[in-house]
Amino acid sequence: MIDLRSDTVTRPTAAMRAAMAAAEVGDDVIDVDPTVDRLQRMTAELLGKEAALFVPSGTMSNQVAVRLHCRAGDELLCEAGCHIFHYEQGGFAQLSGVVARTLPGQHGKLRLADFEGQVHPDNEHLVRTRLVTLENTHNRGAGCVQPYDDVVAICQWAHAHGLRTHLDGARLFNAVVASGIAADTWASHFDTVSVCFSKGLGAPVGSAVVGDRALIGEARRHRKLLGGGMRQAGIIAAGALHALQFHRQRLALDHAHAQILAQAIRQTRGTRLVPDTVETNIVIFEVDASLGTAAVFAAALKMHGVWMLAIGPRLLRAVTHLDVTEDDAITAARLIPDVADQLARGQLQVRDVEPSY
Ligand SMILES: *Cc1c(COP(=O)(O)O)cnc(C)c1O
């Protein structure tokens, strides 16, 4: 099975497992685990910040960041399809009493004009606008890279208005490879940045949140509250450290493989890329009603050994990653027009399937 559902499905490589097995460990809750400490230092340095905190998931790193910047009754501004709003159960509200105001982007991209006039005045009727979050690359925006100049303008505007800024950089290293702009350059505009080791970098577990020393000291308290204090976490941190050292540059391969899929979709009748460009490792496309629903299309592909996700009634998502070879991408790309053709002719019997989005 060629599994294109997500870049989270990767298995640790033999070298990564060896690094994990050999990891030096300590109790990172009582004091320090030396491997976690190394990972945190390397992550902070790569992102040009004073400190980093290792956490179990990207969701936790985002929620820790929300708690760092906002109190109950505060408001954050974010893009309508972003992970923090769309895929974290409204954790900002459930866990921290924070309200989100969503701004509709262009396939996940926001511009300064979208923010202007959005800060509430100081008035006892209103929540306090406190935080701007951006996502780079943008998951539901088909892995698009935020335009750098817009990011700079939005963050400058936010700080000028007394707001804090957080970057959900679950796939920041994809943005780095695609844009040629260094991670610390992207990060320099934000108070905190979250990065994931378990997406394209291919580690089994973990994310980090980075910022200045005082913020990350406070983040450690929030992590403990949320149940994210982990003891001999060096075992998993070693996988993340290995990923950070050896799997960043190779993301360019994932991007090339995504282009192979994109080209096939462009040449397939009844399918359309959304948006029409693919910038990194996520490919989102729409299927015409004549081919059935996205769930039917996904089920038909799966019968032939290629696994994608239906993420809407007509939308499918394919993500390339460490465990997808060029041959796999070519195989999947050949299958797309074949399956579309068979569905259009009614030659493929696919039982009605439950959508999963
Ligand atoms: C996956 C993802 C997260 C959350 O990561 P988990 O480890 O699954 O909790 C956050 N933001 C974005 C953009 C993601 O794609």
Which of 205, 222, 246 delimits the end of a domain? 246
SS3 content of the chain, % helix, strand, coil (to 5): 40, 20, 40
Same domain assignment for residues 219 and 262:
no
Residue 244 has a CB neighbour count (10 Å cut-off) of 19
Reduced to 3 states (helix: H, G, I; strand: E, B; else coil), residue 13 is coil
State the distance from the centre of ligand 1 to the C-alpha of 84, rounded, in angstroms.
8
Beta strand segments in the chain, E: 2-3, 51-55, 74-79, 99-103, 128-135, 164-169, 192-196, 207-211, 271-273, 282-287, 306-307, 309-310, 315-319
Which structure tokens are listed for 262?
């994109």
Counts of helices then strands in the chain (DSSP H, E):
14, 13
CATH of the domain at 265: 3.90.1150.10
Residues touching ligand 1 (Cβ under 6 Å) are 57-59, 62, 83, 135, 139, 168, 170, 196, 198-199, 207
- Of the candidates 9, 5, 4, which has an alpha carbon nearest to the alpha carbon of residue 204? 9
Q: Which tokens belong to 324?
A: 């997808």
Same-domain status, 142 and 273 = no
Instruction: Give the total number of structural domains in the chain.
Output: 2
Cα 76–chain centre separation: 19
The answer to whether residues 209 and 278 belong to one domain is: no
Beta bridge pairs of residue 282:
319
Do residue 164 and residue 283 come from a single domain?
A: no
Nearest CA to 84 out of 188, 183, 165, 182 is that of 165
353 part of a folded domain:
no
Among the atoms of ligand 1, which is closest to the Cα of residue 137? 13
Last residue of a domain, one of 222, 246, 270: 246
Cα(144) to centroid of ligand 1, in Å?
Answer: 15
86 and 145 in a single domain? The answer is yes
Same domain, yes or no: 165 and 304: no
From CA 168, how far away is CA 59, in angstroms rounded? 9
Q: To test ligand 1's pocket by mutation, which of 199, 201, 209, 226 has the most ligand atoms within 8 angstroms of CB?
A: 199
Residue 26 CA to ligand 1 center (angstroms) comes to 27
Can you tell me which atom of ligand 1 is nearest the CA of 135? 13
Q: pLDDT (tens digit, 0 to 9) for every residue of the chain, 357 residues total?
A: 999 999 999 999 999 999 999 999 999 999 999 999 999 999 999 999 999 999 999 999 999 999 999 999 999 999 999 999 999 999 999 999 999 999 999 999 999 999 999 999 999 999 999 999 999 999 999 999 999 999 999 999 999 999 999 999 999 999 999 999 999 999 999 999 999 999 999 999 999 999 999 999 999 999 999 999 999 999 999 999 999 999 999 999 999 999 999 999 999 999 999 999 999 999 999 999 999 899 999 999 999 999 999 999 999 999 999 999 999 999 999 999 999 999 999 888 887 677 767
Tell me if 158 sits within 8 A of 164, measured CB to CB.
Answer: yes
Domain range for 315 is 251-344
- In DSSP notation, 55-99 reads ES-HHHHHHHHHHHH--TTEEEEEETT-HHHHSSTTHHHHHH--E
83 shares a domain with 178: yes
| Same domain as 242, residue 326 | no
Q: Is residue 327 part of a domain?
A: yes
Sheet holding 51-55, edge to edge: 51-55, 207-211, 192-196, 164-169, 128-135, 74-79, 99-103
The conformation of residue 37, written as its DSSP 8-state character, comes to: H
Residue 212 CA to ligand 1 centre (angstroms): 22
Q: Nearest residue CA, atom 10 of ligand 1? A: 58
CA 276 → CA 100, 135, 307, distances in Å?
29, 20, 22
